[in-house]
Amino acid sequence: MSFDNLFQPLAFARGPQMKNRFMLAPLTNKQSRPDGVLTEDEIHWLSLRAKGGFGLVMTAAAHVQAVGKGFEGQLGVFGDQHLPGLARMAERLRAHGAVCAVQLHHAGNRSPAELVGQPVSASDDPQTGARGLSLDEVEALRDDFIAAAVRAERAGFDGVEIHGAHGYIITQFLSAELNRREDRYGGPLENRTRLLFEIIDGVRAAAGPNFQLGLRITPERFGIELAEAVAMTRRLLAGGQLDYLDLSLWDVFKEPAEEAFQGRTLMSYFTELDRGRTRIGAAGKVMTPDQAAAVISAGCDYVSLGRAAILHHDYPDRLRRDDRFRPVATPVAREHLAAEGLSPGFVEYMKSFSGFVAEHVAAE
């Protein structure tokens, strides 16, 4: 198989182009300080990926409000105290020729109470104990996403990606199950998508004309029907405000869960839409170069690598030098991950992903 399609540059409607089609997927790594300030461990692990040839390097999910913190050791972007660390990070990533972006996140009802006290969500949620936001608070949430984007721009990042996936707060607003609001942010799809569209419009209005804006979505589950996700995406693409749409599929070649839509890949429902100048990419179980190239052949503009990029910081460069390159099989020894730039705490976190870290392997 030829891998030429992975090494074509990719231009966006705004901002710098990617030198190839490899995006580093956002990867929470729990290496920030308790106040969300970056550590050298986090900068080291990410700048190695920039050095290793990823065309665009995305940070881990960074919370835009203290109450939206989802993980211990999570990166923060909710205050100016985060600026110096982010600025150092942006400088290091760009020095290696990578386009760089901060992923903007708020965990909503998925914030652990031990980290935030009572979590918040679109509506009261008896299952998690989350409290529904007042109308003023929804507007403040929107404004804090926008302020975080501006902060990322001030720090020197090329863009941001709104985390609209995986059941976090944007998804909680989109969800017909979790969002039971009776104001303009709840009810019909147009209202449930209002928060997202207002954030997008607000970032566009507040940031410079070359600032890149991406959005990550999970097109099914979490109370979102595929038909609704497609309708929302059609509107997003037609609006032309996004530079890229990142499909988080967990398996890029899976079929939809909803029976009525089966018989073709979930991804194809999105790649077939008229995308205008918005780029589309996907993440999910892409390990081998053949799989990465197949994502491009299937109609994506770029491919996002998560676990494969944890295994090899220089996956793109290795493949460019040697088309016989294949990633190491998992599980891998802790020593392998340490050599790939993961701190002991990050390696520990990776143990929660089954079959990734070997328990008793001394060396490879």
Ligand X SMILES: Cc1cc2nc3c(=O)[nH]c(=O)nc-3n(C[C@H](O)[C@H](O)[C@H](O)COP(=O)(O)O)c2cc1C
What residues line the site for ligand X (CB under 6 A)? 25-28, 60-61, 103, 163, 165-166, 216, 248, 250, 283-286, 305-308, 353
The residue among 57 and 286 lying less far from ligand X, judged by its C-beta, is 286
Assigned token pair, 338: 């340490």
> DSSP string spanning 82-104?
GHHHHHHHHHHHHHTT-EEEEEE
The residue among 85 and 306 lying less far from ligand X, judged by its C-beta, is 306
* Other Cβ atoms within 10 Å of 347 Cβ, number: 21
CB of 25 to ligand X, least distance (A): 3
The residue among 271 and 291 lying less far from ligand X, judged by its C-beta, is 291
144-180 as b/e: b if 16+ CB within 10 A: bbbbbbbbbbebbbbbbbbbbbbbbbbbbbbbbebbe
The residue among 186 and 300 lying less far from ligand X, judged by its C-beta, is 300
CB of 184 to ligand X, least distance (A): 27
The residue among 132 and 168 lying less far from ligand X, judged by its C-beta, is 168
The residue among 6 and 286 lying less far from ligand X, judged by its C-beta, is 286
State how far the Cα of 337 lies from the Cα of 350, in Å rounded to an integer. 10
Please answer whether residues 148 and 62 qualify as being in contact, where contact means their C-beta atoms are separated by less than 8 angstroms: yes
Assigned token pair, 249: 């599929």
The residue among 94 and 106 lying less far from ligand X, judged by its C-beta, is 106
Nearest to residue 86, comparing CAs of 59, 48, 63, 105? 59
| Cα-based torsion angle of the residue sequence 71, 72, 75, 76 in order, rounded to the nearest 10 degrees | 90
CB of 347 to ligand X, least distance (A): 11
Tell me how long the chain is: 364
CB of 260 to ligand X, least distance (A): 25
CB of 58 to ligand X, least distance (A): 8
CB of 169 to ligand X, least distance (A): 13
State how far the Cα of 113 lies from the Cα of 95, in Å rounded to an integer. 39
Using CB atoms, what's the residue nearest to ligand X? 306
CB of 136 to ligand X, least distance (A): 28
Question: Could you tell me whether strands 159-164 and 212-217 are parallel, antiparallel, or unpaired per DSSP bridges?
Answer: parallel
CB of 27 to ligand X, least distance (A): 4
Report the SS3 class of residue 164: strand
The residue among 31 and 278 lying less far from ligand X, judged by its C-beta, is 31
User: How far from 53 is each of 56, 181, 306, CA to CA, in Å?
Assistant: 9, 45, 14
